[in-house]
């Protein structure tokens, strides 16, 4: 049996047939209860109706922020840290919105063939391709302005631009490889140094860049790979039919053991980062500058 047949056979036994036609139901809770009707498709593009995805972005910023606060000297005040956290939360709303808008525009043909995504605004025709590109451009301009406004980012352009560049390329990866989760993982992990510099972490220091910060980076990437592969399993049947690549498609029934091994590696990297940073007894101490 060839690999494609094996995937289809696995899918046939793990994903049930959908017996009824799905119907679109517009979100009406939270901010959607007060938005004008014409604005709602754009709010959906930004995923404002799905707050769980916000935390998938934001968590990585908080990891970098927490690490920077823990090792920097002088230690930032609670007020300063809180202000940075709020700033990053606002940044995530715009960043996530821009990336998701581009993702939906590039994936619209795939989305129409997948049950879970067929009612996304572009796929169902509520927002045109041109309108989506204009909306994404506006969000990227706002995002760029927010980044340039903060003084810490001026001397770290490469670090601050990496998450946006990588996450913008991500939707293209699923067309040519079964490993788009790796790209997504490194895109999210790049947010760790992005936020760490906001509390004074010196990324030019080899001790920071190649020691515990690197371990946090890789552990974060692995964590994203794990949860997004699990998430991709809900679209497994449709992805096989439409030719969309993912680790769920590649691994099939082997997903659980492979992801279990990755989880062990992730924990090991986190422990190593803690020891290197003297967060555990006996660990070497990082010199605070």
Sorted by where each starts, the structural domains of the chain and their CATH numbers stand as 35-276 (1.10.357.140)
**pLDDT of the residue at 6:** 45
Percent share of the chain, pLDDT over 70:
83
Of 144 and 20, more confident = 144
In 161-256, the DSSP E strands lie at: none
Which H helix or E strand runs over 267? helix 255-276
User: What distance in Å separates the CA atoms of residue 39 and residue 103, rounded to the nearest whole number?
Assistant: 19
Mean pLDDT in residue range 52-68? 90
| Residues belonging to the chain | 289
**pLDDT of the residue at 208:** 62
Burial of 151 (0-12, 13-18, 19+ CB in 10 A): exposed
Q: Which residues contact 166 (CB under 8 A, 6 or more apart)?
A: 183, 186, 187, 190
Q: Examine the pLDDT at 3 and tell me if it is beyond 60.
A: no
pTM above 0.85, yes or no: no
Are the C-beta atoms of 124 and 239 separated by less than 8 Å? no
Tokens of 257: 């053991």
Mean pLDDT in residue range 230-243? 87
**pLDDT of the residue at 20:** 45
The model's confidence at residue 11, banded by pLDDT at 50, 70 and 90, is very low
Of 160 and 256, more confident = 256
Range of weakest confidence among 87-91, 140-144, 195-199, 200-204: 200-204
Instruction: Tally DSSP H helices, then E strands, for the chain.
Output: 14, 0
DSSP 1: -
Are the C-beta atoms of 40 and 56 separated by less than 8 Å? no
User: What distance in Å separates the CA atoms of residue 214 and residue 71, rounded to the nearest whole number?
Assistant: 15
Q: What are phi and psi of 173, to 5 degrees?
A: -65, -35
Mean pLDDT in residue range 81-98? 93
User: What distance in Å separates the CA atoms of residue 75 and residue 62, rounded to the nearest whole number?
Assistant: 16
DSSP 118: T
Q: Examine the pLDDT at 186 and tell me if it is beyond 50.
A: yes
Q: Examine the pLDDT at 177 and tell me if it is beyond 70.
A: yes
**pLDDT of the residue at 197:** 80
Q: Examine the pLDDT at 265 and tell me if it is beyond 90.
A: yes
Mean pLDDT of the chain: 83
């Amino acid at each position: 049996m060839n690999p494609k047949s094996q995937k289809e056979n696995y899918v046939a036994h793990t994903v049930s047939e959908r017996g009824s036609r799905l119907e679109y139901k517009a979100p009406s809770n939270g901010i959607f209860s007060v938005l004008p009707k014409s604005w709602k498709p754009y709010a959906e593009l930004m995923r404002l109706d799905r707050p769980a995805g916000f935390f998938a972005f934001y968590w990585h910023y908080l990891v970098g922020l927490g690490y920077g606060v823990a090792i920097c000297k002088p230690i930032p005040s609670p007020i300063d840290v809180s202000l940075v956290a709020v700033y990053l939360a606002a940044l995530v709303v715009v960043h996530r919105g821009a990336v998701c808008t581009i993702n939906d525009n590039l994936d619209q043909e795939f989305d129409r063939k997948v049950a879970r995504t067929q009612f996304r605004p572009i796929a169902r025709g509520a927002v045109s391709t041109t309108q989506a590109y204009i909306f994404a451009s506006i969000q990227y301009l706002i995002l760029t302005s927010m980044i340039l406004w903060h003084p810490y980012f001026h001397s770290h352009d490469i670090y601050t631009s990496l998450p946006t560049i990588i996450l913008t390329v991500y939707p293209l990866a699923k067309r040519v490889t079964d490993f788009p989760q790796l790209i997504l993982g490194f895109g999210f992990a790049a947010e760790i140094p992005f936020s760490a510099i906001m509390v004074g972490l010196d990324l030019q220091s080899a001790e920071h860049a190649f020691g515990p910060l690197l371990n946090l980076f890789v552990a974060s990437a692995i964590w994203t790979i794990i949860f997004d592969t699990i998430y991709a399993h809900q679209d497994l049947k449709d992805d096989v039919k439409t030719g969309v690549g993912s680790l769920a498609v590649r691994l099939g029934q082997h997903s659980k053991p492979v992801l279990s091994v990755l989880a062990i590696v992730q924990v090991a990297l986190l422990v190593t980062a803690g020891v290197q940073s003297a967060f555990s007894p006996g660990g070497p101490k990082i010199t605070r500058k």
